[in-house]
Chain A
Amino acid sequence: MTHHRGSNGEPVDRRHALECMIWAGTGVLWTVSGGVPVSLGLLGEAKAAEAPSAGFTFLQISDSHIGFDKAANPHAVDTLKEAIGKVQALPEKPSFLIHTGDITHLSTASQFDTAAQIIGGAGFDVHYVPGEHDIIDENNGRAYLERYGAGARGAGWYSFDQNGVHFVGLVNVVNLKAGGLGNLGADQLAWLADDLKAVSASTPVVVFAHIPLWAIYPEWGWGTDDAAQALALLKRFGSVTVLNGHIHQIMQKVEGNVTFHTALSTAFPQPAPGTAPSPGPMTVPPGQLRNLLGITNVAVERGREELAIIDSTLAGS
């Protein structure tokens, strides 16, 4: 099963503005090949696939919500450990991890410590961006920045390069306006414009942020008010991959040169847009929880237009 197929195996129309895919997996593995991230589908398939010759993989985890202990998953620590176990068991070691926010549930020091121990225990470099749950300490985000803000600007945004791919971590969870959605803000957009100036149009770009940078369901706040301005700055690039978390389910759309993808949580699922009274944690029968939590592996292969994105669940072998 890959992300180009619907749940019944039929090809998915990539022109659809919004596609919802659910995998029976734990994460998304991204392969960067020829500068474009391509999702590989389930981890099992990735194993079977040929190893990329001159590419690399990186791994996305999201929404670990350490400290969450409600009915939807009283053991968010354990499911994060399982997710990290999956990462360590990958046949091809990712070059690094990205965490797309909501590391903790309530931004406490002990929650950050626990998350760092579990995630750091895997021995990979990890690039973080904050979710709204990571900036609710008494000092409005200082706890996050003290741990993860070194080398970052503003509320924690930054960029880095890896094997010819330009990665940009954005923050869209601070200074939210009444009635609004996620927010990047003028300072960050100005920084982004400047940051991208030195990057050639043929360089693949991977942007990651907590709240989706596309309007998935504004009624539940699932979108970013000024995302269009960021996307305008990314228009000249041949390959742009946008990775988000926040909605605790997999959704993908392809629009021109931009592939948008949201990851599973490692903590608890949330309902599909509009299918519940609110986007709050969704309690499912105990046997089903691990089908709805997971990780995302991304493979980048030289000479390929797209990165390969593989979501896999905790229930996947």
Chain B
Amino acid sequence: MAQTPLRGADATRVKIENFTFTPTALTVKVGTVVTFENDDDIPHIVVASDGSFRSKALDTGDGYTFTFTKSGDFPYFCALHPHMQGTITVIP
């Protein structure tokens, strides 16, 4: 099925606040642009468990954007505070 690039429908955010990814579990369609935004006073690094994506160190207010082009479950964590975990589920 061809993806229809609609603004709003294909872009979404994960907020990092209080050492937590919110929402912790997020389901998006293939092609969605996800922005991870750090609202903490401490830097975080978003990294996929399978290594498929990794941000640089995100200081307060910094964001990291990744486009999910394959379907599947993508667990990720913070490379600095690995108890921080989340999952992006990508569906066709």
Q: Which residues of A contact B (CB under 8 A)?
A: 70-72, 105-107, 132-133, 136, 138, 176-181, 218-221, 277-281
- A101 to B: closest C-beta gap in Å: 12
Query: Can you give 13 contacting A-B residue pairs, CB < 8 Å?
Result: A71-B41, A72-B41, A106-B43, A136-B43, A136-B56, A177-B82, A178-B49, A179-B83, A181-B82, A280-B18, A280-B19, A280-B40, A281-B42
Question: Do B59 and A221 touch (CB < 8 A)?
Answer: no
Q: Among the listed stretches B3-11, B27-35, B73-81, which one makes contact with chain A, having 4 or more residues with CB under 8 Å of it? A: B73-81
Q: Which residues of B contact A (CB under 8 A)?
A: 18-20, 40-43, 45, 49, 56-57, 59-60, 75-77, 79-83, 85
- B74 to A: closest C-beta gap in Å: 12
How long is the Cα–Cα vector from A70 to B40 in the complex, in angstroms? 10
Q: A176-B82, A181-B83, A221-B83 are in contact. Are A281 and B57 (CB under 8 A)?
A: no
- A135 to B: closest C-beta gap in Å: 9
Residues of A within 8 A of B79 (CB): 176
Interface of B is mostly: loop
- B63 to A: closest C-beta gap in Å: 16
Q: A138-B56, A178-B49, A178-B75 are in contact. Are A281 and B82 (CB under 8 A)?
A: no
Question: Do A106 and B81 touch (CB < 8 A)?
Answer: no
- Minimum CB distance partner of A225 in chain B: B82
Residues of A within 8 A of B81 (CB): 132, 221
Q: A106-B57, A181-B82 are in contact. Are A278 and B18 (CB under 8 A)?
A: yes
Question: Do B82 and A70 touch (CB < 8 A)?
Answer: no
- A43 to B: closest C-beta gap in Å: 29
- Minimum CB distance partner of A223 in chain B: B83
Question: Do A176 and B80 touch (CB < 8 A)?
Answer: yes
Q: A70-B60, A277-B18, A280-B18 are in contact. Are A178 and B85 (CB under 8 A)?
A: yes
- A210 to B: closest C-beta gap in Å: 11
Residues of A within 8 A of B80 (CB): 132-133, 136, 176
Residues of A within 8 A of B20 (CB): 278
- B84 to A: closest C-beta gap in Å: 8
